[in-house]
A and B are shown apart, each in its own frame.
Chain A
Amino acid sequence: MADTSVVSRGHRSGVSDWLRERGVYVALALVLALNLAVTSNFASTGSIVLQLIEVVPILLVALGLSLVIGTEGIDLSVGSVMAIAAGVLPLYLGYGAVPAILITLAVGALVGLLNGTLVALVGIQPIVATLGVLVGGRGLAQVIAGGQQQRISDDTIRALGSLRLAGVLPVSVLIAFSAVLVISWVTRRTTFGRHVVAVGGNRRASRFSGLPVRRTLLGVYVLSAVLAALAGILATARLGASDTPNVGQLIELSGITAVVVGGTPLSGGRVRILGTVAGALLMQLLNATFIMNNLPYTYAQMIQAVIILVAIYAQRPGVSS
């Protein structure tokens, strides 16, 4: 009877297909147009650049998450990894900014390796495995940081947070969009990227075809954590201080929202990097719209909820299974 379901699976209306493919770009354009028309002071370079700066941590975290979600997984630990990065960075600044950054990224990779091991080798469900790190990671970060906010005086790090190329484009934004290009290239052109969608699309068939399923899973969790660590470094640089209790709080939720709204289904098998970028920008702009127009933030949250529901609805099973 295996084949009957293939036959009987009818074509759904083109509307939800269209919504899934293009919806996020249309929504982004609408919100942008609305702001240009209504919000005073929005149509300025300074204001637009500010939005880009604000979106950097969410964007980096969402990039990693889109790979993890592409394998039908989830990574809740990204906010805590940001906190760990914020805690580790000041410890090694004595060796200079570059070594400290590299060490911090390596520590992020280690946390990702832990997540990946729990998921790929031990076989724990991703949501549970990474929940453990979500809870424990921030505690660890505060222990590392000695429980207090530390000011960062290193010039290179501070420059990461404030330097603007040609006086306009912030370095952090440049770094984030370089990461977008790299991850986008990885998903399209490398064997690893092809394995990610294959494992997410049909894990059993991937195993039958001799693909390195475990190694692929380890890889996505490591990448996700390294990107989160990078987000932690940039957030710390922008603040000029290591703020382990607060940095990256609840960012896993914004990140997952950006990925899903961008058209990457939670059921895996598909990764849409450009959609994720648009999703992250959309969420950022929505927040900004409410803040800049002095509307209560609670409304922004409710609008976000509606957008998430619409996005999930557009991807409900039947299309992607």
Chain B
Amino acid sequence: MAHHETLAQRVVDPVLEVVDATVRFPGVTALDEVSFTLLQGQIHALVGENGAGKSSLIKVLTGVYQPDGGEVRYGGQPVRFDDPAAAQRAGISTIYQEVNLVPLMSVARNIFLGREPKRLGLIDYREMNRQAAAVLDRYGIGLDVTAPLRSLGLGVQQMVAVARAVSLDARVVIMDEPTSSLEAKEVETLFRVIRLLHEQGVAVVYVSHRLDELFAICDEVTVLRDGRTVHTGRMGDLTKASLVAAMLGRDLAAAKQRQGTTHREIDETPPVLRVRGLQRTPVLHGIDLDVRPGEVVGLGGLLGAGRSETARAVMGVDPVDRGTVAVDGTEIRRGSPGAAVGAGLVLLPEDRRNEGIIPNLSIRDNIVLAALPRLSRAGVVSDRRADELVSTFMRRLGIRASGPHQKVRELSGGNQQKVMLARWLCLQPKVLILDEPTRGIDVGAKAEIRDLIDELAAQGLGLVLISSELDEVVEGSDRVVVLRDGRIADELAGDVVTEAALLQALAGRAIDLTEAAADG
């Protein structure tokens, strides 16, 4: 990394600092006395799993949130940005994961939106196009600046967003998952731009879950977990395994000592779920998956590895390019969640609020939703049978509510999750995919749901378990399939299902466990 030398020769002052920032929401502390120091010209990685506090920290840096405690310093002076526009005027530009530009306007107009060069009060298009071309040229991005933005690929649009950010004479550029929609070649272009920024003394905050990119481009790294800073230091001092361990809050050495729990051997019965060659460019590449009756298969992987994407593609919610899904040997129609549910394949989605519950309907209506065809004759629902079913499952799952007619939006996260489970279990499914089943719910309900998973497996259901909590995957699964960048990277079975082995698989096999443990 040649750029370290050039940096070392300069006087390096912190350009942007956060000191002991705390951000609270009712019931949740998003940031708990987090400190973050960004030096001039530094490329600083900000990493952490879901809910670690990355987004909150960025929102504090850009003036979206005002911290409840602590302060933000810019150029050594305490500052208060009332809104993102204020931060941008001060020289802090942000590039979001989703391109947020105006699709129908030209490239040049997007770059200069809100500060167009003017002549006699009108936009001077010729001057604007000239300047836009110059900006793009400087970073080696060849583009027709008069083309409407939406006529370009997502990756190129992202480049325009970068060009807009740097043309604002930014001193700090924050990039939130900038490569999530980029092709490999575009990532190279982006890196070239980042190195140029670095040479010009612009500091970059680089948020990504792609480990390779972090090690390729960043000097410094700050790891957040559960709203706290758990590590900050030079990128080069870490291995991939120790970085993953820090993100997940696992001590590698301790994990290595711990013995794996005993896992039941599943005999060679034919799989109840058989997935072959599932392809969804660019997120999934040839996923194969077998689940036998009574087996819990964990899907391992870091954020963005393709776990939820696999679940959604198997269900037919997301379109796929290729691949087959069969339940009990019968192939199900592609792209039809209804067909999947009919075949006995159901998904407890990760995003409970948007993909699971119907918030304004009652507990009862939410539970019977998918079972309506079975509860009705000639399209007329039998209220008696529906009520029986609902009261059975409310009792069995211990759903705490004032009654079956209470609205689901009024329930706690744990009870909402139980309503979702009831919706599926009353169908007597063959395969249940659980995507983060215990996220955002209290400890008691968590334990109940984990017990339920074991119970369901014992009853012969095939289960797929996705969880960001390492111990949940290791304790709960008989076998773990590890995904990385949308591919199956590894598989752990039997005695090898341990936290240490999983950590290592998440980071990539190349790292030797002993070396990693010495690091941690």
Q: How far is the CA of A7 from the CA of B361 in the complex (A)?
A: 18
Answer whether residue B174 sits at the interface, using C-beta atoms and an 8 A cutoff.
Answer: no
Q: Which of B44-102 contact A (CB under 8 A)?
A: 51, 55-56
Once the chains bind, are A194 and B359 in contact (CB under 8 Å)? no
- Known interface pairs A197-B361, A209-B341; A8-B381 also in contact (CB < 8 Å): no
Residues of B near A270 (CB, < 8 A) are 360
Q: Are B356 and A7 in contact (CB under 8 A)?
A: no
Complex Cα gap A4–B336 (Å):
32
User: Once the chains bind, are B381 and A191 in contact (CB under 8 Å)?
Assistant: yes
Least distance between A215 CB and chain B CB atoms (Å): 9
User: Which residues on A sit within 8 Å (CB–CB) of B358?
Assistant: 197-198, 201-202, 205-206, 269
Q: How far is the CB of B308 from chain A (nearest CB, A)?
A: 12
A151 within 8 A of B: no
CB of A192 within 8 Å of the partner chain = yes
| A176 → chain B closest CB, angstroms | 23
From 180 to 207 in chain A, residues with beta carbon under 8 angstroms from any chain B beta carbon are: 189-192, 194-195, 197-198, 201-202, 204-207
**When the two chains form their complex, are residues A191 and B376 in contact, meaning their CB atoms are under 8 A apart?**
yes
The CA-CA distance from A201 to B361 in the complex, in Å, is 8
Known: A2-B351, A198-B369. A210 touches B341 (CB 8 A): yes
Chain A residue nearest to B336 (CB atoms) is: A210
Whether A212 is near chain B, meaning CB under 8 Å from some CB there, is: yes
Q: Is B478 an interface residue (CB 8 A)?
A: no
Q: Report if A208 contacts B (CB, 8 A).
A: yes
Q: Is the CB of B337 within 8 A of A207?
A: yes
Q: Which residues of B contact A212 (CB under 8 A)?
A: 338
A1 touches B (CB below 8 Å) = yes
Asked if B219 is at the interface (CB within 8 A of a chain A CB), the reply is no
Report chain A residues within 8 Å CB of B171.
none
Asked if residues B380 and A201 are in contact (CB atoms below 8 Å), the reply is no
Residues of A within 8 A of B373 (CB): 191
Contact (A191, B379) CB under 8 Å given A2-B352, A198-B358, A210-B337:
yes
Residues of B within 8 A of A189 (CB): 380-381, 383
A residues in contact with B369, CB < 8 Å: 194, 198, 206, 209, 211
State which residues 209-250 of A face B: CB under 8 Å: 209-212
Dominant SS at the A interface?
helix
Tell me which residues across on chain B come within 8 A of A7, comparing CB atoms: 25-28
A190 contact from B55, B357, B381, Cβ within 8 A: B381
Cβ contact of B355, chosen from A192, A198, A204, A211, cutoff 8 A: A204
**Bitwise interface map of B from 196 to 207 toward A, beta carbon under 8 Å scored 1, else 0:** 000000000000
Contacts of A2 in B (CB 8 A): 351-353, 440
Task: Mark out the residues of chain B between 375 and 400 whose CB falls within 8 Å of any chain A CB in the assembled complex.
Answer: 376, 379-381, 383
> How far, in Å, is A25 (CB) from chain B's closest CB?
21
Q: A1 contacts which chain B residues (CB < 8 A)?
A: 25, 28, 30, 51, 55-56
Residues 317-358 of B, flagged 1 when their CB comes within 8 A of A and 0 if not, give 100000000000000000011111110001101011111111
In the assembled complex, the Cα of A206 lies from the Cα of B355 at a distance in Å of 8
Q: Could you say which interface size class chain A belongs to? A: 20 to 34
A191 — which chain B residues lie within 8 A by C-beta?
Answer: 372-373, 376, 379-381
- A3-B380 contact given A208-B315, A210-B337, CB 8 Å threshold: no
List chain A residues, Cβ under 8 A from B413: 3, 6
Query: Which among A8, A201, A269 has the highest number of chain B CB atoms within 10 Å?
Result: A201
Contact present for A4 and B423 (CB under 8 Å): no
CA distance A166 to B357 in the complex (A): 51
**Min distance, Cβ B323 to any Cβ of chain A, angstroms:** 19
B365 at the interface (CB under 8 A from A): yes
Q: Which of A6, A7, A195, A198 has the most CB of B within 10 A?
A: A6
Q: Does A320 contact B (CB under 8 A)?
A: yes
Q: Is the CB of B354 within 8 A of A194?
A: no
Please state if B337 and A208 are interface contacts (CB–CB under 8 Å): yes
Residues of A within 8 A of B376 (CB): 190-191
Count chain B residues whose beta carbon lies closer than 8 angstroms to a beta carbon of A: 46
* Docked-complex contact B365 and A210, CB < 8 angstroms: no
Instruction: Specify which of A194, A204, A208, A269 is in contact with B360 (CB 8 Å cutoff).
Output: A269
- Establish whether residues A204 and B354, one from each chain, have CB atoms under 8 Å apart when the complex forms: yes
Partner of B28, one of A3, A190, A207, A320: A3
Measured CA separation A192–B28 after assembly (Å): 40
Kindly state the separation between the CA atoms of A192 and B381 in the bound complex, as whole angstroms: 9
Q: Which residues of B contact A190 (CB under 8 A)?
A: 376, 379-381
- With most chain B CB atoms within 10 A of its CB, the pick from A189, A204, A210 is A210
* B177: min CB distance to chain A, Å: 16
Chain B hits for A206, CB < 8 A: 358, 369
**Residues on A with beta carbons closer than 8 Å to the beta carbon of B336:** 210
- Docked CA distance A1–B352 (Å): 12
| B360 touching A209, Cβ below 8 Å | no
Q: Known contacts A6-B409, A189-B380, A209-B423: does B349 contact A194 (CB below 8 Å)?
A: no
Residues of A within 8 A of B423 (CB): 209
- A320 to chain B: which residues have CB within 8 Å? 360
Which chain B residue lies CB-closest to A208?
Answer: B355
In the complex, the answer to whether B360 meets A207 with C-beta atoms within 8 Å is no
Q: Which residue of A lies closest to B427 (CB)?
A: A210
Judge whether B456 is part of the interface by a CB distance below 8 angstroms. Answer: no
Residue in contact with B349 in the complex, picked from A8, A198, A208, CB distance below 8 Å:
A208
Cα–Cα, bound, A112→B373 (Å) = 25
Provide the residues of chain A in CB contact with B341, threshold 8 Å: 209-210
Which residues of A257-307 are within 8 A (CB) of B? 269-270
| Contact partner, B27, options A4, A201, A202, A269, Cβ 8 Å | A4
A194 in contact with B365 (CB, 8 Å): yes
Please indicate the chain A residues that have their CB under 8 angstroms from the CB of B351 in the complex. Answer: 2
Residue of A nearest to B382 (CB): A189
A69 to chain B, nearest CB (A): 14
B370 at the binding interface (Cβ < 8 Å): yes
Q: Give A12 Cβ to nearest chain B Cβ, in Å.
A: 13
**B171 CB → nearest A CB, Å:** 29
Report chain A residues within 8 Å CB of B340. Answer: 210
Among B27, B361, B440, chain A packs the most CB atoms within 10 A around the CB of B361
Q: How far is the CA of A210 from the CA of B356 in the complex (A)?
A: 11
Residues of B within 8 A of A197 (CB): 358, 361, 365
Say whether B359 contacts A208, CB under 8 Å. Answer: no
Q: Which residue of chain B has its CB nearest to the CB of A270? A: B360
Q: How far is the CA of A207 from the CA of B336 in the complex (A)?
A: 9
For A208, what are the chain B residues with a Cβ–Cβ distance below 8 Å?
315, 317, 337, 347, 349, 355-356
Kindly report which residue of chain A lies nearest to residue B28, judged by CB atoms: A4
Q: Which residue of A lies closest to B375 (CB)?
A: A191
Min CB gap B269→A, angstroms: 26
Q: A8-B25, A190-B379 are in contact. List 9 more A-B contacts (CB 8 A).
A: A1-B28, A8-B26, A190-B376, A205-B349, A205-B358, A209-B370, A210-B338, A210-B341, A211-B370
Q: List 12 contacting pairs A-B, 8 Å CB cutoff, sorted by A.
A: A3-B28, A8-B26, A189-B381, A190-B376, A191-B376, A204-B355, A205-B356, A206-B358, A208-B317, A210-B338, A211-B338, A320-B360
Query: Nearest 8 pairs between A and B by C-beta?
Result: A210-B341, A4-B25, A201-B358, A210-B338, A3-B440, A7-B27, A191-B372, A210-B337
